[in-house]
Amino acid sequence: MGLKKILHMNTGNGKTSYANNSSFQNVVISKTWDLVDETLRNMLENHGFSGSCMNIVDLGCASGPNALRVVSHVMDTIHDLRKTGDCSCCKPLEVRFFLNDLPDNDFNSLFKPVEDFNEEKRLVCGSIRSGCFIYGLPGSFYTRLFPTKSLHFAYSSCSLHWLSQVPRGLESENKENMYISIASPPEVVDAYAQQYKRDLMAFLSMRGEEMVDGGSIVLTFIGRKFQDFSSKDESGQFTMLSQTLLQMVAQGVLEKDDLYSFNVPIYMPCQQEVESIIDHQGSFKIDKIVAFLVRWDANKYADELPFDKNRSGKLVADCIRAFMEPMLVSHFGKSIDCDDIFQRYAERVGEHLAKERSSYQMLSISLSIS
């Protein structure tokens, strides 16, 4: 089965769905608003876009309420900027807002609330701000998605750390890990880094062809603090999931060979890597990079409730399950007991967080077309 068929979040609105287990992503999105607003302001002040229609895309939108939060915020910001200051413009603007993800994304659930969303915007905001037409755009963002010089603004959050494929040749090198760990040999690190470089180069090249003069992008994804993978395990969530599966292999619940051949198509780059690739590819210039930390168990109530290792462990496990379950089922077979896996995993994560309140290093980058 091709990777595009299994790289999707858990569908629907059930208890294990991505829609109900994306609080981490929700917190990350909220922390990007200042950079989004600054980028849109600079874009409109410097270039204006005097036409009557603008094309905007959320790349890797997934499903659930987060995608429409992005639409709402971007549209509100554009409306406010066009009313005030140097961006003032009385000419009505219509926006085509594209929600992009791989074809097996749960577009049905994504679009069910769109009609109510549009009606709410019309009632609250009036005719100018309601000129937003929302479309689904299935396809890999490592390929062309738009006609030449037609895209004005692109946004992506918690998506660009996903690779287009698992790096080749890892089976014999990375047996007891599903991603890079401190114990991974240099060959594994290099295979992942080279795949990431190829993918990011392709992404930037495709968007460079699609973007209008003066267009901009805001990208946010999981990174890492240290250049050297051996200095600190910054992918601890995957290390602990590997340990959980190893425990199940030792107990005869899973087959060892199945675990040894399982690797996730994710890469968490350091800031220096990203800057180097962007500069080398040449389609965009970096306007601003913001690095910030988000706790593994981040959610909108995180600062209001006292820490509880069981609650935090389950919160992290449910979030990881929402995107890992399709891959686990595809690789290990439908008989795999994901309830058992993620109950064990939640306990392991909870014990870890009781000792160390771990966070992810997030990178948020504003780019403009060169």
pLDDT, tens digit (0-9, with 9 covering 90-100), for 253-275:
998 889 888 999 999 999 999 99
Eight-class DSSP state of 9: P
- The answer as to whether 41 is a domain residue is yes
- The answer as to whether 218 is a domain residue is yes
Pairing mode, strands 132-138 and 151-157: unpaired
- The answer as to whether 219 is a domain residue is yes
Average pLDDT estimate for 164-190: 86
Range of 208's domain?
20-231+264-298+357-369
Tokens (6 digits) for 359? 């966070």
Q: pTM value?
A: 0.92
For the chain, the residue count is 370
- The answer as to whether 170 is a domain residue is yes
Q: Is the pLDDT of residue 217 over 50?
A: yes
∠ CA 17-20-22, rounded to 5°: 95
Judging by beta carbons within 10 Å of its beta carbon (0-12, 13-18, 19+), is residue 75 exposed, middle or buried?
buried
Average pLDDT estimate for 216-228: 93
Q: Among 300-309, 333-342, 354-363, whose mean pLDDT is lowest?
A: 300-309
- The answer as to whether 307 is a domain residue is no
Please, which pLDDT band fits residue 3 given cuts at 50, 70 and 90? low
- The answer as to whether 146 is a domain residue is yes
Strands (E), 20-145: 53-59, 94-101, 132-138
The predicted-structure confidence for 77-89, as pLDDT tens digits, reads as follows 998 888 875 555 5
Please, which pLDDT band fits residue 143 given cuts at 50, 70 and 90? very high
- The answer as to whether 48 is a domain residue is yes
Contact call for residues 214 and 284 (beta carbons, < 8 A): no
Q: The tokens 């992009």 sit on which residue? A: 100
d(Cα 105, Cα 48) in Å, to the nearest integer?
34
Give the number of C-alpha atoms closer than 13 A to the C-alpha of residue 134, restricted to the C-beta side: 24
- The answer as to whether 68 is a domain residue is yes
Please, which pLDDT band fits residue 129 given cuts at 50, 70 and 90? very low
| pLDDT: which is higher, 214 or 334 | 214
- Number of structural domains found in the chain: 1
CATH number at residue 173: 3.40.50.150
Eight-class DSSP state of 224: B
